[in-house]
Chain A
């Protein structure tokens, strides 16, 4: 058993690093499947992070904190929806605006909370199970959000591919004109998908400020929203692969942290670059096969829908 001692904390930290990406990625996946590209994940995550942190600090109620984070993420996404769906603004530009706005807004709201400590979200403790060696802490000793993240991947997968509503959502992303002419409410369905994406990003943010590093700092998402976007390309819009990708990125993040902690003779900045460089490498490898991307990407992604009667 001794050989595994170092292994457990690494796995545990990989899980904490991956979970926010799972939430943000799976939410955006639903958004993109409906044909909308929301580049504002970073903004929705950071607002979720600050909202959760403040709620947790003021009330001590973590469930409420997560709900508030989801609602504020969904609200941000709603703003995005008003602009891109109702007012037909460019989705790329609006997504950027959402990110810039979210970063500013979160800094403003959270300014009195910078550096305040908060208790990390409680981990599960199921009697004997959580004390089992190795698998105990990994399988039965996580905080509830980790389990929720897995559940969400499963639910989204089931929803998209096994239900009529999921079929309709994919249809809207495949051809909004066809969906409209059959009589589906393209805009309504997209609002729902966008706001679900926002809620998930919000929860992802909450995980950052309540579990990953239980504190609030400006800009604490540090590009994770963008990495989540890259994840979806990596996953070629498949929920299961989003999970795989998130854990891969989580692994790289943790690897470099452990390497820094181990005092490796590599400057810390170089190690810190790794997740970003890995994102680029993954994007390149996946995107190289253009036809594969085109085959899996929702055909209407990023296109503006105006029911031209």
Chain B
């Protein structure tokens, strides 16, 4: 937490926003927002999902146009009409979802982000130069789809650095990194800050912000809340400013009597048939009745493949690979597994867990018809299905104008509650939930967490796959980590630290620097 090179009193802000307002149909995404970033300052933009951070960033980067408000660059009022214009000013952005081209090489990707024509050989040399200089190793000839997420992020950073940025915007950069990789990236950022580059750092992770940033601007519900010095605030005070209310942590039942083993996965190996996919390699674990097993890991390490193997969307090579209460189910399809009492909440709500263009009634039928007996006499029982949909809506507090509305009309949190509800109301013996609260507002997230805990308490076995370590620590009994298609041995949640999880996430020999972990209240 060095404040080197910062001389806050006298300097003109490098970037200043005054009264930025941007409305979408039905939503005021940015409501009169002010922001000031000084040269060499690492400035946090803090807020929950939906607080308006991304909209503001896109405005600065020229992707969006604000409805009103002023942007000042080194004290001068300017219009940023396009990303090109932003780059010309010296603004570089690393988006949460990378703007990379999977089928192309590192050099080609970087060339696409630079103006004018480049000699590819010279460019490759410069890439190696810069990447070594800043500790961001990259091989210019590799195609992007062969790279890890961390390496992909390096491409984005190098692409920005090649243009000598004055302001670097980073949108949730650590959400895809292991704690150790994140530490390495912080080193790079501190060095850039020392060199006078301003950094606008968007995150909702409080410990990171306390660790890294000089200043923080807090947004909530599209509004500017305050500017503060995160180094003197506590994680709790930051969280309260960010969320606005005090949230109750999920009530965890006491380490209950573990029941018998319900789900058992033995030596599951599976070659991915997608060239961008990950092969599963000798996965072993079991889930007992009444317990919640959490699987942590950086995205793209085999989670998708594991989830599909468990749901039956991909069949295993041997039936014995997966067993549910003594029965081998590795070769059974999704419907057969469902009739044996397995429920499943996939990662992608729209298009995987639900059909966006179909009504909630149809979406209730989608995975509920076998267990809920929604087919009578060979025909779809519309009345019964509607009743089922209404029950879900009522019991799980899904905010919707009615069950005849389409799934796509629901907000992320409400749709997630609907899907979780649909699966839980089938009284599953085992429920597998991927990223239960990803992109969900805090209120919905805590009610989903509570529902998961309650379901386990009632005796069901629960498997949660998530990238969010806070979430996993909050609800799981045991944790395992998936990295490069392999799963670590699981351990009780009280016997493992975030640091150990981080090492596992980075693969076996991920030697990273020590870091104090501040727990969020």
Contacts and interface: CB of A to CB of B under 8 A. Distances in A.
A and B touch in the complex (CB under 8 A): yes
Given A164-B117, A167-B112, A182 B99 contact: yes
B111 A167 contact: yes
B111 A183 contact: no
Nearest to A163: B117
A218 interface: no
Contacts of B108: 167, 171
Contacts of A182: 83, 99, 112-113
B182 interface: no
Given A167-B108, A170-B104, A175-B102, A183 B275 contact: no
Contacts of A181: 63, 83, 95, 99
Interface in B47-92: 58, 62-64, 82-84, 87
B103 interface: yes
B273 interface: yes
Given A167-B112, A182-B83, A182-B99, A174 B275 contact: no
Contact of B112 (A171, A294, A299): A171
Contacts of B202: none
Interface string B89-126: 00000010111111110001001110011100000000
A171 B62 contact: no
Contact of B64 (A171, A178, A309): A309
B99 A178 contact: yes
Contacts of B99: 175, 177-179, 181-182
B275 A291 contact: yes
A146 B95 CA distance: 48
Contacts of A291: 273-275
Nearest to A178: B99
A174 B103 contact: yes
A295 interface: yes
Contacts of B113: 182
A84 B244 CA distance: 45
B118 A174 contact: no
B118 A171 contact: no
Nearest to A174: B101
B434 to A, nearest CB: 23
Contacts of A294: 274-275
Nearest to B87: A183
Contacts of B64: 309
A36 B118 CA distance: 27
Interface in A176-219: 177-184
Interface residues of A, number: 21
Nearest to A183: B83
Given A183-B82, A309-B58, A178 B275 contact: no
Q: B interface, by DSSP: helix, strand, loop or mixed?
A: loop
A23 to B, nearest CB: 27
A168 interface: yes
Given A183-B84, A291-B275, A309-B63, A164 B98 contact: no
Nearest to B112: A171
A171 B104 contact: yes
B162 to A, nearest CB: 13
Nearest to A295: B275
Contacts of A309: 24, 58, 63-64
Given A168-B112, A171-B112, A183 B95 contact: no
Contacts of B112: 167-168, 171, 179, 182, 184
Contacts of B58: 309
| Chain B CB within 10 Å, residue with most, of A170, A175, A180, A184 | A175
Given A181-B83, A183-B62, A183-B87, A171 B101 contact: yes
Nearest to B85: A183
Contacts of A290: 273
Interface string A145-175: 0000000000000000000100110110011
A180 B82 CA distance: 10
A232 to B, nearest CB: 17
Contacts of B274: 291, 294
A174 B63 contact: no
B104 to A, nearest CB: 6
A289 B64 CA distance: 42
Contacts of A175: 99-102
| Chain B CB within 10 Å, residue with most, of A171, A290, A294 | A171
A187 to B, nearest CB: 14
A99 B132 CA distance: 54
Interface string B217-242: 00000000000000000000000000
Contacts of A183: 62-63, 82-84, 87
Give 7 closest A-B pairs by Cβ, nearest first. Answer: A183-B83, A178-B99, A181-B99, A174-B101, A183-B84, A164-B117, A171-B101
Given A167-B111, A182-B113, 18 more contacts: A170-B104, A171-B108, A171-B112, A175-B99, A177-B97, A178-B98, A178-B99, A178-B101, A179-B112, A180-B63, A181-B83, A181-B95, A182-B83, A182-B112, A183-B83, A183-B84, A291-B275, A309-B63
Interface of A: 164, 167-168, 170-171, 174-175, 177-184, 290-291, 294-295, 299, 309
Interface of B: 24, 58, 62-64, 82-84, 87, 95, 97-104, 108, 111-113, 116-118, 273-275
10 contacts: A164-B116, A167-B108, A170-B101, A170-B104, A171-B104, A177-B97, A180-B63, A183-B87, A184-B112, A291-B273
